[in-house]
Amino acid sequence: VAKRPEPRAPVVEVLGTGDELVSGAVRDANFQAAATLLGDRGYDVRGGRVVGDDLEALAGALREAASRADVVVVSGGLGPTEDDLTRDAAARVLGVPLELHGFSRRLLLSEWRRKGLPMPASTLRQAMLPRGTDFLHNSVGSAPGFRFRLGDAAVFCLPGPPREMAAMLEAKVAPLLLRLAPRPPRARSARVSCCGVTESSVGERLADLMQRGKPVRVGTSVSEGVVTVSIRGTGHAALLVGAVRNEVLRRLGADAYAAERVPPGENLVRLLVSKGLTVAAAESCTGGLVGARLTDLPGSSKAFLGGVVAYANGVKTGVLGVPGALLRKHGAVSRPVVEAMARGVRRITGADLGVAVTGVAGPGGGTAAKPVGHVWLAAADRAGVRAVERRWLGGRATVRGIAANTAIDLVRRWVERGTEAGGPRQRGVAQGTVHRAQG
């Protein structure tokens, strides 16, 4: 059977607008959201641009993007104030006036009626659309979007607040693109999440899959100790993505914790809930980060009972029951102390599992034997406790972030081994290994 030629991937550019972006006051989140959502659907996201609230600059950027791309997504500049200029810039490049859009006006009026407040006159600016453009309903905010054609490009103007932008990308832009722009080639993407391992170790194991020029593209990125493997194929290669993902999972073994992009905390809560287990955390250098990440997800109270932030040694002894003699003899960053912390938090909370972390987050406080980045972690259950020692390079925030994720990953490995391979005692967490990871 002859292969049919693949459609080319439509090219997308993303344009963000706002003085708060170019002044550095706010970091743009919308480019990443658009790039992920449209890239996963087979579009060729070529680039993004950010400009200030300047009519000339915005109109120029619109023209340039439309001359290069099949699809232009604009975020921001749709609010009611005079520095919200996306409507004006679109009207200028189209050579049309702004007109009051009746339906938008009625929506705004009814919204303010519900609030029980008179609508400020400036709000009506939000209901002005360039003549001949198509209204896009915003179901999570008050500023409507709109779309139009500029040359060969389909242009979508969306509100700037990330929640509204993301909702409209998903609900409006993605479905409309299938009929307004060239249809993308079949595309599939997958992600695999790893923890407790360096990006270079993952890269070595996947080196042949990651070579350039392969039909399925495999890449890695790392953030706070979480290595994400991205796998993407378009056209005929889309059919191979599942097989490549399975090969990645096979090679990474227990270092891969999920066949999707998910934070370690969210993944662990799901795992614990599915096993009916509870955990509590005793934290020193992470100061509460482990707890914060385990409670990012709603419903985490089924698995996470709470814990103790034992930043001062007095809290380690007084609340967690760590013997003062252990602290004096071994120091706060040591195997005996981290083990006593994990056992202590389990005991006082009544959780099935205890996890503990204590280390030198830096930048001060390091010694030759216990340098900055030196961290002890432990997990405990009814039957016992195991500790691991790690050293990471990086600044304070990096060390704390990796330590929190690694503590969570230690519990994940404990639970997976304990229930799938005959209990942690047989295949216990390696003791005393030192490994280096970059932030």
Per CB under 8 A, which of residues 297..316 are in contact with a second copy? 298-301, 304-312, 314-315
What number of CA atoms fall less than 13 Å from residue 87's CA on the CB side?
28
Evaluate whether 338 touches 356 at the Cβ level (below 8 Å): yes
**Who contacts 195 (Cβ-Cβ below 8 Å, separation ≥6)?**
225, 226, 227, 255, 257, 264, 405, 406, 408, 409, 412
Map the footprint of a second copy across residues 324-353, applying CB under 8 A.
348-350
Nearer to a second copy, 133 or 228 (CB): 228
Element (H, E) at 377: strand 374-381
Query: What span, in angstroms and rounded, lies between the C-alpha atoms of 414 and 412?
Result: 5
Please tell me whether residue 25 binds a second copy under the rule CB under 8 A.
yes
Residue 119 binds a second copy (CB under 8 A): no
Cis bond before residue 175 (omega within 30° of 0): no
Rounded to a whole number of angstroms, the minimum distance from the CB of residue 97 to a second copy is 23
Q: Pick the closer one to a second copy by CB: 37 or 240.
A: 37
Q: How many residues bind a second copy (CB under 8 A)?
A: 84
Among 130-138, 224-232, 235-243, 427-435, the segment contacting a second copy (CB under 8 A): 224-232
Identify the CA nearest to 283 among candidates 357, 359, 372, 381: 357
Please give the single-letter amino acid code of residue 328: R
C-beta of 237 vs 361, nearer to a second copy:
361
Which residue among 67, 110, 122, 221 contacts a second copy (CB under 8 A)? 221
**Residue 223 in the binding site for a second copy (CB under 8 A):** yes
- Listing DSSP states for 319-363 in one string gives TT---HHHHHHH-SSSHHHHHHHHHHHHHHHT-SEEEEEEE--SS
Nearer to a second copy, 39 or 145 (CB): 39
Does the protein bind a second copy through residue 28 (CB under 8 A)?
yes
* Chain residues 143-202 in contact with a second copy, contact rule CB under 8 A: 163
Backbone angles phi, psi at 358, to 5 degrees: -145, 135
- 254 vs 292 by CB, closer to a second copy: 292
CB of 427 to a second copy, least distance (A): 30
Compare residues 30 and 334 and give the one whose CB is closer to a second copy: 30
Q: Does 266 bind a second copy (CB under 8 A)?
A: no
| The only residue of 7, 64, 200, 270 in contact with a second copy, by rule CB under 8 A | 64
Residue 20 or 99 having the CB closest to a second copy: 20
Q: Which of 107, 289, 340, 380 binds a second copy (CB under 8 A)?
A: 289
Residue 170 carries which DSSP code?
I
CB-CB contact of 328 with 370 (8 Å): no
Site for a second copy in 231-260 (CB under 8 A): 232
Binding segment for a second copy (CB under 8 A), chosen from 36-44, 120-128, 192-200, 424-432, is: 36-44
C-beta closer to a second copy: residue 155 or 297: 297
Residue 154: other Cβ atoms inside 10 A = 23
Distance CA 87, CA 79 (A): 10
For residue 353, the minimal CB distance to a second copy (Å) is: 14
Among 80, 182, 242, 288, binds a second copy (CB under 8 A): 288
The interface with a second copy within residues 41-60 (CB under 8 A) comprises 45-52, 54, 57
CA atoms within 13 A on the CB side of 60: 8
Q: What's the min distance (Å) between Cβ of 3 and a second copy?
A: 26
φ, ψ at 99 (rounded to 5°): -130, 150
Select from 263, 362, 418, 424 the one that contacts a second copy (CB under 8 A): 362
Which of 157, 269, 294, 408 contacts a second copy by CB under 8 A? 294
292 binds a second copy (CB under 8 A): yes
Sign of the torsion angle spanned by Cα atoms 18, 19, 22, 28: negative
User: Where do we find the tokens 């987050």?
Assistant: 361
**SS3 state at 41:** coil
